[in-house]
A and B are shown apart, each in its own frame.
Chain A
Amino acid sequence: MSYFERALVAVVVIGAVSGLVGSLVVLRKRVFFAQALTHGTFPGAVAAAALGVAVPIGAAVASVVLVGVMLLVSRVRSQGAQVAAGIVLTGGFALGALLQALLPDLPIRAESFLIGSILTVTEADLLVSGGVLLVVVAAFAAFGKELLFSTFDPQGYRSAGYRGWPMETLALALVAAAVVSSLPAVGAILAIALIAAPAAAARLLMPTVGWIVLVAPLIGAASGVAGLVISREFGVAAGPAIALVACGFFLLALAARGVRRVHPRSLHVPVETAEEAIAR
């Protein structure tokens, strides 16, 4: 395989994983959490590069630690999930930069972590992201119903006799896996675009959750391919091009929904009481 063909396969796989997991992230409103993970895995990647271990392994270890820290902080009175994500994000980034300063002879340059370098993706990277895709698809096939039930109605899910934490843990693990596998394509800063934008676009247009879960990975893969082609044709960096195409899909979806909004079924329900009128 030439380097470009390898990159094409990689963006299709990574785009599909990101879109699929992104629909969970968007529907569960975990975008800032995912953003913190993308930034926080930076020191793990640097440490792995320094130790000569595969970068995804370092990032995966870092993400397990970060999920633990965020769960702890978000359960503390007066702190909450936003604070937890903010702390992990800044702390992780600072730690990564410090590690880089302390270990000047790293084989990989900083900006390839930050904005990705899809054209230098290796066969090993391909195997990792392919494995992640299989795991994610298997998880959706086996636990799709439970995942979606717990996403839309956490209280109802628990009342129905299920316990909340297995699905929450599964969702977090899938998000962490998607973040780790998307790092080579778009890097730590832009990974969140490939995770959030395709799912948010699908959510705007698709009538049911099933359709969102089907369409988001397609948009993700299409963003990857289009971004890669644009990057080759115009000689620009691939990571930002992929991220911009994904954002473009979201804008298109927003425009399409604006056109469709005149449909009477989606008109707003009129305000019923004075109290509700004030609340608006």
Chain B
Amino acid sequence: MRLKGQTLIITGASRGIGKALALELARAGAHLVIGARNQAALEFVRDEVRELGVRCESVAGSAADGAVAKALVDNALQIGNFTGFIHNAGILNAGPLAYELIESQYDEIMESNVKGGYQLARFAYPHLIRQPGSVAVFLGSGVAEHNIAGMGIYAIAKAAEEHLARQLAIEAPEVTCFTYRPGIVETDMQRQLREAQGGGSETLRPLFKEYKSQGRVLTPEQSARALVRILEGNPRKFHGKIATHTDL
């Protein structure tokens, strides 16, 4: 797929993989609409993207909020050539066992990962199904299959999100839709795992420190570049499936 001149939405673009994706896609010539809850950090990324010579608009807020999801899509339509979205925003809240996690943290995890994905699809698909070569990418995780103590609610949210991605692939085959599992990436999320508190901390801390000492941790740029290469190649081969950073 040719990215130059296409407009894509990226959520969770203020930091980590989302920010790296925004910059990498901009380097490939894509126009962007970026979303995140932290307005100041998001506008900083927007300015950095614009310096790369592409159009970029930012919408601050959670994509789980219908008004925010709609604003992301409206901005993309205004730029023109709206070709897809990458739902990268996701909250982890690692550490507590499932029953220890407080309600507001449970709700944050579900809303960012699952409801955000549903809202984006709901507002974007009516346009994307008429746009040849359109894509919808959902950031998944290895924990959607094999779980560890202290990541339970995040894992079930990712399982639900990956299920939704497969469902969309079947219900709307016009839009190339797949899950991208970014691997273990050095972001704020990784630091949260290595410094986890709560009933799962005894499992999480040594495990994620070991991943790091074994050199298993990618930089956000490495993981973002892998997804951009997949998009530039033939993303259709992942339709309804799971792509990882090693699928190049």
Do A and B share a complex?
no
Which residues of B approach A to under 8 Å, CB–CB? none
